[in-house]
Amino acid sequence: MLPLMKQAPKPHLFSMSLEELRQWLADRNLARFGADQIYNWLYKNWTTDPILWTNVAKKTREAMLAELDLEVPKVVWQGLSRDGTRKFLVRMLDGKTVETVAIAAEDRLTLCISSQVGCAIGCTFCHTGTMGLTRNLSAGEIVGQFVAVTQWLKTNVNHEARLSNIVYMGQGEPLHNFDEVKKSAIVFLEEKGIALSQRKVTLSTSGLVPQIKKLWDFPPVNIAISLHAAHNDVRTELMPINKAFDLDRLFEAIRTIPLKARRRITYEYILIAGLNDRQEDIDGLLKLLDLETSKVNIIPFNEYPESKFKRPSDTHIRWFQKQLLDQGHTCTVRITKGDDILAACGQLKSKEDALNLWN
C-alpha cells in the first residue's frame, strides 16, 4: 500500500505583502482592492476573523478560508517585569514556542521579535544559544508575533496600545532566515498596513558575512551588528561564528552595506567583567570603528542561571563609555529592562516546560 501523500501547508495570510495579496485575489478573478480592505482589517483594526470583515466580498472571504492559513499564534503566558517590560511565550501552530518581549519607554513601545525557534550561532554569553536551532520561523509566524501581542495588549492592558518599534533581536539569527525575515519586514513597513517607519525597525546580526553582503536587497531599516569584542581571540571565545567570519571579513562585508544619508550602523557590545572591558579593548574599538558611520551601544551583561560571565560594576561601565565619548564616538549604555523575568538581552530561552518556570 502506498503511503499517503502529506498535504502541503497552506500559505499564511500574514506572510503576504499587500501586492502579493492583490495578485492572489486577481489570480482567482476576485477584486484586487479587496486586499487593501483586508490589510485595513488586519493591521489597522486588528480583526483577524474574516466573518467580521463586513465590507469584504463573501467570495473573497470564502476563498481565503479555503486556501489560506488565517490562524494567529497564541500567547500562552506573559510575565510583567517591575519596570513595565512584558515577556510573552508565543505558541505556533505546530506547538513550538518562542519568546517575544514588549519594552515600554516614555515615547515608544518596542517589540523584540524572534526569527527562529532557538539559534544555531551558539554565542557563549546568550541563553538562547544553549538551545540549538529547532527551525526557522515563517514570515507569517514573525508577523504573527506582532499581531498576537498587539491583540493581547489591546484586550488586557489598553485598547489603544500600539507597538511603535520592532527590533529583530529575540531568539535566532535573523540573517540565517534572510528570505522570511525580509518578507516580514515588507509587511511591517507597508503604509496601508502596520505602517512602521524604516527608522523604527532594527535588524540585528551576529555577522553572517554572505548575508550581510545581500543587505542591498533588504528594506532600508536600521542595522545593528553584534560585535562584542575588538580582538579575534576574545570574539571567538564569545561567538564561535568568528572562526568562520573573523573581524577582517566582517568589516569588509559591513563596508558593502548601503547607508542612507545621516544613517549609522549600531555596534552592540555586551560588556563582560574582566573579558572585553579593558583599555586594550577600547583601543581595539577605536581602530575598528569609523567615527562618521558608527555608534556603539554598550549592553551590560545580563546574568542568567548557569552563566559563567559577570556584569561589570556601574562605575566601570561608565568609565568604558567615557573613553569612547572622549574620542568623539557616539556611545550609549542600554538601560537593562526585564532582567527580573529573564526578558533582558541574552536571557531569552523558550522551553516546552516554560509555562512551569514562573508558577
Does 331 participate in catalysis according to the annotation?
no
Catalytic residue among 119, 126, 345, 352: 345
**Burial (CB count within 10 angstroms: exposed 0-12, middle 13-18, buried 19+), residue 37:** middle
Does 126 participate in catalysis according to the annotation?
no
Provide CB contacts within 8 A for 319, sequence distance 6+.
none
Residue tagged 574582566 (cell numbers):
274
- Within 10 angstroms of residue 261's Cβ, the number of other Cβ atoms is 4
3-state helix, strand, coil in the chain (%, to 5): 35, 20, 45
Backbone angles phi, psi at 62, to 5 degrees: -65, -40
> Which stretches within the chain are classed as H helix?
18-27, 34-43, 58-67, 139-156, 178-189, 209-212, 232-238, 247-254, 279-288, 314-326, 354-357
Kindly list the distances between the CA atom of residue 284 and the CA atoms of 14, 230, 277, in Å, as whole numbers in the listed order.
44, 5, 11
- Cα separation, 332 vs 330, in Å, equals 7
Catalytic residue among 20, 62, 99, 268: 99
- Just list the catalytic residues: 99, 345
